[in-house]
Amino acid sequence: MAFNVTALAAYTKANETQLLTKALFGAKSISLLTPQIGVKSTQQVNTMNTDAVFQADACGWSASGTTTFSGRTLTVAAIKVQEALCPKDLNTKYLQLTLPNGSKDDTIPFEQKYAEYKSGLIAEQLETAVWQGDTASGNQALSRFDGLIKIIDAASGVIEANVSGFTSGAPYSVSGGITTTNVIAIMQGIYRALPVELLGKADLRVMVGMDVFRTYQMALTNANLFHYNAESSTSNFEIVIPGTNIRVVALNGLNSTRRIFAAQLSNLFFGTDLLGEEDNYEIFYAKEAMEVRYNVAFKAGVQIAFPDEIVEFTLA
């Protein structure tokens, strides 16, 4: 005697209590930029410039000097994320085992995991848009507002760090990629290009993609810099350029761009109507449509204040 199983399909355990999601990165850039809250559509990033004219101290009044007010327009995009889910679609799948008994079907399984993953995707796309946003891109996430790269590239007075004239013989006009061979020289070139007025500022940062940061770490290790503390400097993916007080910060929003920027964080603005509003989602059952709906709405945009206090490196 033997089992006759020819009428049975091969069995694969579905693990109905397990649901895995992809790894995501967060919106670190937003946490670093200077927030401008209450922006419904457009708002000015106001700046003031003045001078102090020294004169000989003598009797009489001799006014001299000019104070100028100006500003740059910060425009936010009104963004929403909505999805409709029909729990009845799960009745014929393995996920039926996670549904409550009955035919009402007014909830979705794994709601918390779904919501957390959705929020993570929003944060990831916002992180990228803060830097790479371009309203002409046609990309569903990047076309909502112009990012810092486009804004900085269009601004007058930004300091170029990949000009060979900064120091003789240094490879600032780099072609072929940012590698362990040239990245230390590139970072030193950025440091040399910084206006001396910025060097003592506590919020001065050099901002790179996670890919460039990893290359820089490897280059420092290969250079056998014995004073380089790998454990403390890699905390939160930040490292100090050896011999300086300038901190390099890895930001996923700059991944694959081969761009590097140095600026005070107080010179870079993130505009929104309500800070953290992108996390205020709602999941509700729409009885008239017999579906579960996800909804979140927020506003986002970026701007700079002083272009001539920003150093940028573009791979040639």
> Is pLDDT at 233 greater than 60 in this prediction?
no
Degrees to nearest 5, angle at CA 27 with 25 and 29: 125
Q: What is the pLDDT of residue 166?
A: 40
Q: What is the pLDDT of residue 57?
A: 83
Q: What is the pLDDT of residue 236?
A: 83
Q: Count of residues for the chain?
A: 316
Q: What is the mean pLDDT of residues 3-13?
A: 55
More confidently predicted of 218 and 94: 218
Average per-residue pLDDT for the chain: 82
Tokens 């991944």 sit at which residue? 255
More confidently predicted of 270 and 99: 270
Q: What is the pLDDT of residue 81?
A: 92
Q: What is the pLDDT of residue 214?
A: 93
Query: What's the pLDDT tens digit per position in 239-266?
Result: 999 888 899 999 999 999 989 999 999 9
Secondary structure (3-state) at 233: helix
Q: What is the pLDDT of residue 25?
A: 55
Dihedral sign from CA coordinates of 81, 86, 92, 98: positive
In the chain, the percentage of residues whose pLDDT exceeds 70 is: 79
Q: What is the pLDDT of residue 229?
A: 54
pTM of the shown model: 0.82
Q: Are 183 and 219 in contact (CB under 8 A)?
A: yes
- Phi, psi (degrees; rounded to nearest 5) at 141: -95, -35
Q: What is the pLDDT of residue 204?
A: 97
Query: What's the pLDDT tens digit per position in 268-293?
Result: 999 999 988 888 889 888 989 889 89
Q: What is the pLDDT of residue 156?
A: 94
Query: What's the pLDDT tens digit per position in 123-138?
Result: 999 999 999 999 999 9
Q: What is the pLDDT of residue 94?
A: 58
**How far is 238 from 256, CA to CA, in rounded Å?**
18
pLDDT-based confidence at residue 10 (cuts at 50, 70, 90): low
Most confident among 3-17, 62-76, 132-146, 274-288 (mean pLDDT): 132-146
Q: Are 130 and 33 in contact (CB under 8 A)?
A: yes
Query: Which structure tokens are listed for 293?
Result: 């709906």
**How far is 50 from 297, CA to CA, in rounded Å?**
40
Write the burial class of residue 285 (CB in 10 Å: 0-12 exposed, 13-18 middle, 19+ buried): middle
Q: What is the mean pLDDT of residues 79-94?
A: 78
Residues 6 or more apart whose Cβ sits within 8 Å of residue 67: 48, 49, 50
Q: What is the pLDDT of residue 90?
A: 67
Query: What's the pLDDT tens digit per position in 111-127?
Result: 888 888 889 999 999 99
Query: What's the pLDDT tens digit per position in 133-184?
Result: 999 999 999 999 999 999 999 999 999 987 554 443 444 445 568 899 889 9
> Is pLDDT at 17 greater than 50 in this prediction?
no
Q: Are 193 and 161 in contact (CB under 8 A)?
A: yes
